[in-house]
Structure 1
Amino acid sequence: MRFSEYMTQWLYGEDGYYATYKDIGKSGDFYTAVSTSKFFGGTIAKHIISLVDEGFLDKHGVVCEIGAHHGYFLADVCEFIYTLRPELLSTLKFVIIERFDDLQKHQQKYFKESFGDAVTITHYKSLDELECENAFFIANEIFDAFPCELYYKGKTATVKNHNVEFDVNDDWVESKAKEYCKDRGEIAVGYEAFAKAMELSCKKFEFMSFDYGEMQSRPDFSLRVYTKHKVIPFFTPEDDEEYIPREELFAKSDITYDVTFAHVKDAFMEAGVEFVEFKAQMVALIDMGLLELLEILQKNADEKIYKQELEKAKMLIMPNFLGERFKMIKFRKE
């Protein structure tokens, strides 16, 4: 099978890694900005309010998270909207795109426990099911979870019994490799269809996403596995002390790669969506008001609580943690 099919089974198969509820954070395999601090969602909430104030997002518009997993991120957004502009909690429509029934149940349960009947979540399995006039779309670490093909000097990889061979000629993969100046590495599959589905789902929207990677492609393979906060390069030699057989990692650990944001940008522009900006997460969160939120907390909370939340929020913007490694990309359809 092609590597993209292998990765799809690994992550999204019947027994795939993302098919069932998984812990994220200290007790899971990796950290995300969402698991690090509530102020990640809080800063997005502040941005959503600014979109309403400037007239881009209608107060009856849709706020949609794509790939919510636990639902913590959108819940944090709702919590801060309630704090900053409570009337919007009853007018905005909150949506989650989630393909797995098991995760939908966990998300509904979490929102019910958190908000009772004050917030209603509508689920769709894909963007193809959603039709709306005006929306704000948000996704955290979604593009690194798209299946990819592996390319090496003109050949595309296949997988048999967890062993990778570069033995296929694929014109589409080779054209993308040339477009992004790669003689080896990952070529994401599905960005174009995803961008087009979003463009068709809504007449006017802003889409913001955070992920790790760079605008230009890496010159080598970044494919890796995360298991219990341990990073294992996919091509670790068998004689390396860090080596774990792939069959032991398959579907039990997260597999991911660095995002080539130029590919994301091109996919959305080809779908007729305007590229707005690309920034380090650190700069994006500060520009959207993270520090102002922390000032509000300092004035209204116990000093101990403030210091605890400040330390967590720092992790979002510290260059040596999430601040520089993660990037924000934004698009708009007017």
Structure 2
Amino acid sequence: MVEKKFSKYMSEWLYGEDGYYATYKNIGKSGDFYTAVSTSKFFGGTIAKHIISLVDEGFLSSNAVICEIGAHHGYFLADVCEFIYTLRPELLMSFHFVIIERFDDLQEQQNNYFQESFGDVIKLTHYKSLSELQCENAFFIANEIFDAFPCELYFQGKTARVNNNEVIFDLEDKWVESKAKKYYKDRGEIAVGYEDFAKEMANAANRFEFMSFDYGEMQARPDFSLRIYTKHKVIPFFLPKEEEDYISREKLFQKSDITYDVTFEHVKDAYAEAGVAFVSFKAQMVALVDMGILDLLEILQKNVDEKIYRQELEKAKMLIMPNFLGERFKMIRFRKELNA
């Protein structure tokens, strides 16, 4: 492998021609990891309820763009559509549904799933990047996107390069060093691309709300969080070779997911630079309860038999239980107003 900075190595791992995300991967029990989307339809349902509340308050128009960024199979946006149909069906006809997806293979998977689920009722539009989208009013949603941005690795003043899958800290990089000092990190991951992403979104719509869910904290972790997920096993990236769970990076490269904890302060600063206002930051369990997940479960209880209700309740609990996804995952929300 040609020697390169770590961000290039991670980008190739995830998004290269043979990268992990370049083709469709199962998520959930048969995949490498779980997400909130693979856990319960009520994740998307709660977002649908929130979108309707934005229409009612006058922030979103009835012909707004509803856009998911990095949709994988398309389950999340489809769940949103399904609940909009249940709660406010006329909006399903007037909203414009969009997915931002760079890979043709995944676009095909998403189109097929929407066709199977909705036939010709919903017209789904794809763009390869936010820079291709221009609209007046939008709601943007993303699940676990910021942890999938390539990062640089920083350790005591030096930035990492990779040579034959070995990480060497000996590069000088003023930008990485400035970010490390800003977020009080003497070691750890420095995400690359948040600033450009925020600017692209700011230019894509004149007025919008953006909501994203991911794992991490507002302040930076004091150490490395970089890790690999393979078949529901978590392998620390810097696991010593003598450890029982050690698998060589060469064997895992492009065949597994690689990720790290998000420093949400970095995300917040990137959007501030783009002129987009920070609205709120909450644990996922608090955010979902505030947006009405319990109200949706109550509606379900009144309309289905007890067995189905109990099954869906157990799935939904996983979204909000502190020891599963409820506390570890966070929601961050931004808004751009017309006069911003």
The TM-score by the shorter chain falls in which range? over 0.9
Any stretches of 5+ residues in structure 2 without a counterpart?
none
In the alignment, the residues of structure 1 paired with residue 41 and residue 175 of structure 2 have an alpha-carbon distance, to the nearest angstrom, of 41
Does residue 231 in structure 1 map to residue 234 in structure 2?
yes
Give CA-to-partner distance per residue, 1:279-331, whole Å, 9 cap, x none: 00000000000000000000001110000000000000000000000000000
- Give the Å deviation of 1:47: 0.3
Does residue 120 in structure 1 map to residue 92 in structure 2?
no
In the alignment, the residues of structure 2 paired with residue 227 and residue 111 of structure 1 have an alpha-carbon distance, to the nearest angstrom, of 28
SS at match of 1:113: helix
- Give the Å deviation of 1:25: 0.1
Task: Name the structure 1 match of 2:325.
Answer: 322
- 1:174 aligned to which of 165, 173, 177: 177
Q: Which amino acid aligns with 1:67?
A: G
- 2:92 aligned to which of 89, 94, 102: 89
Does residue 50 in structure 1 map to residue 63 in structure 2?
no
Q: Which amino acid aligns with 2:87?
A: L
In the alignment, the residues of structure 2 paired with residue 302 and residue 115 of structure 1 have an alpha-carbon distance, to the nearest angstrom, of 25
Task: Name the structure 2 match of 1:295.
Answer: 298
Give CA-to-partner distance per residue, 1:137-166, whole Å, 9 cap, x none: 000000000000000000000001000000
In the alignment, the residues of structure 1 paired with residue 61 and residue 13 of structure 2 have an alpha-carbon distance, to the nearest angstrom, of 39
In the alignment, the residues of structure 1 paired with residue 171 and residue 334 of structure 2 have an alpha-carbon distance, to the nearest angstrom, of 35
Task: Name the structure 1 match of 2:114.
Answer: 111
Task: Name the structure 2 match of 1:137.
Answer: 140
Task: Name the structure 2 match of 1:186.
Answer: 189
- Give the Å deviation of 1:246: 0.2
Q: Which amino acid aligns with 1:75?
A: A
- Give the Å deviation of 1:235: 0.1
* Residues 1-334 of structure 1 mapped to structure 2, 5 A cutoff: 1-334=4-337
SS at match of 1:64: strand
SS at match of 2:324: coil
SS at match of 1:240: coil
- Give the Å deviation of 1:170: 0.2
TM-score (norm 2): 0.98
Give CA-to-partner distance per residue, 1:225-266, whole Å, 9 cap, x none: 000000000000011111000000000000000000000000
In the alignment, the residues of structure 2 paired with residue 79 and residue 308 of structure 1 have an alpha-carbon distance, to the nearest angstrom, of 18
In the alignment, the residues of structure 1 paired with residue 333 and residue 244 of structure 2 have an alpha-carbon distance, to the nearest angstrom, of 41
- Give the Å deviation of 1:202: 0.5
Q: Which amino acid aligns with 1:151?
A: Y
Cα RMSD over matched residues?
Answer: 0.3
TM-score (norm 1): 1.00
In the alignment, the residues of structure 1 paired with residue 97 and residue 22 of structure 2 have an alpha-carbon distance, to the nearest angstrom, of 22
- Give the Å deviation of 1:94: 0.2
Q: Which runs of 4+ in 1 moved over 2 A?
A: none
Q: Which amino acid aligns with 1:154?
A: G
In the alignment, the residues of structure 2 paired with residue 118 and residue 214 of structure 1 have an alpha-carbon distance, to the nearest angstrom, of 40
Percent identity between matched residues is: 80
Give CA-to-partner distance per residue, 1:196-245, whole Å, 9 cap, x none: 00001110000000000000000000000000000000000011111000
In the alignment, the residues of structure 1 paired with residue 304 and residue 225 of structure 2 have an alpha-carbon distance, to the nearest angstrom, of 42
- Give the Å deviation of 1:86: 0.4
SS at match of 1:17: coil
SS at match of 2:29: coil
Q: Which amino acid aligns with 2:127?
A: Y
- Give the Å deviation of 1:21: 0.3
Any stretches of 5+ residues in structure 1 without a counterpart?
none
